[in-house]
């Protein structure tokens, strides 16, 4: 009930802004991120950065302001910051048994202390099943490449969650935005293309590439459509 009220409040704020703002740049600032669903295929090589969780600008809104993107780090440093990502490399690159991986040990510790993991595993059988599924996913991706979650009718929030920087940079979320295990497998398997879920964009990116083709008469649907179209035709290697 509380989450429903919060969502209703966010939507109301967004609608009020659409009515009272006098310029396009502030019109969509309170657009809730959960109103947006942009899934795009991109080259894996275009994901060159990630953003540490502590620098996330907002977990509510789709358009971000400020200098958050300056806190991005090279994707080459990602293994040091994300235990799950590193564990995939331990299992498939270093060839260790999954029960010796850092992620397995952490989740096993959660089971012993709390009786449940963050993913909802309630016993070792659940935990082992997750990692057996990861082994199966590796084999499927090796054979078929990276398939969109939409194509295989899975949870779209499990696509690789990213933010778009002021110059169009694709910035992987450190955690909590989906797709970390598949991203790691794509790296290990040296796949060429993956699917991303755009969870937020920088306001300056919109000013530079999107807003110039919009007016106050336009709505959120056109904004989302224009952002999606941008990634269909924008060929620059970020």
| Residue-level pLDDT at 101 | 97
189-to-69, 158, 186 alpha-carbon distances in Å: 28, 19, 5
Which residue ranges make up each domain of the chain?
A: 1-30, 31-212
Helix (H, G, I), strand (E, B) or coil at 238: coil
With left for phi above 0 and alpha for psi between -120 and 50, is residue 193 left, alpha or beta? Answer: beta
The DSSP 8-state label assigned to residue 15 in this structure reads H
| Residue-level pLDDT at 14 | 47
- Which of 176, 200, 233, 228 has its CA nearest to residue 29? 200
Task: List Cβ neighbours of 109 (8 Å cut-off, separation of 6 or more).
Answer: none
| Residue-level pLDDT at 220 | 84
| C-alpha neighbours within 13 Å on the C-beta side of residue 178 | 18
Report pLDDT digits (tens) over 73-99: 999 999 999 999 999 999 999 999 999
Tokens in use for 197?
């879920």
User: Is the Cα torsion angle 31, 50, 136, 124 positive or negative in sign?
Assistant: negative
The helix (run of H) or strand (run of E) holding residue 80 is helix 78-81
| Residue-level pLDDT at 58 | 86
| C-alpha neighbours within 13 Å on the C-beta side of residue 125 | 0
| Residue-level pLDDT at 156 | 60
Q: Which residues of the chain have pLDDT under 50?
A: 2-5, 13-14, 17-20, 237-238
Residues 144/48, Cβ–Cβ less than 8 Å: no
- Which of 86, 89, 104, 95 has its CA nearest to residue 50? 86
Q: How far apart are CA 15 and CA 220, in angstroms?
A: 10
């Amino acid at each position: 009930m509380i989450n429903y009220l919060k969502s209703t409040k966010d939507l109301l704020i967004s609608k009020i802004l659409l009515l009272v703002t006098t310029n396009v740049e502030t019109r969509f600032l309170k657009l809730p991120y959960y109103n947006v669903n942009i899934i795009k295929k991109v080259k894996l090589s275009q994901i060159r950065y990630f953003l540490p969780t502590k620098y996330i600008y907002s977990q509510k809104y789709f358009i971000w302001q400020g200098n958050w993107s300056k806190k991005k780090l090279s994707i080459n440093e990602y293994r040091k910051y994300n235990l799950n990502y590193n564990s995939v490399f331990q299992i498939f690159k270093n060839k260790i048994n999954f029960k010796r991986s850092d992620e397995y040990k952490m989740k096993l510790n959660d089971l012993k202390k709390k009786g449940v993991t963050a993913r909802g595993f309630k016993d070792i059988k659940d935990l082992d099943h997750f990692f057996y599924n990861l082994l199966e996913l590796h084999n499927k991706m090796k054979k078929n490449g990276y398939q969109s979650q939409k194509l295989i009718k899975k949870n779209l929030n499990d696509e690789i969650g990213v933010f778009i920087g002021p110059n169009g940079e694709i910035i992987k979320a450190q955690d909590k935005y989906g797709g970390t295990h598949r991203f790691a497998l794509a790296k290990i398997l040296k796949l060429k293309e993956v699917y991303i879920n755009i969870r937020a964009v920088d306001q300056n990116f919109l000013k530079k590439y999107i807003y110039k083709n919009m007016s106050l008469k336009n709505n959120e649907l056109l904004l989302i459509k224009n952002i999606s179209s941008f990634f269909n035709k924008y060929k620059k290697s970020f």
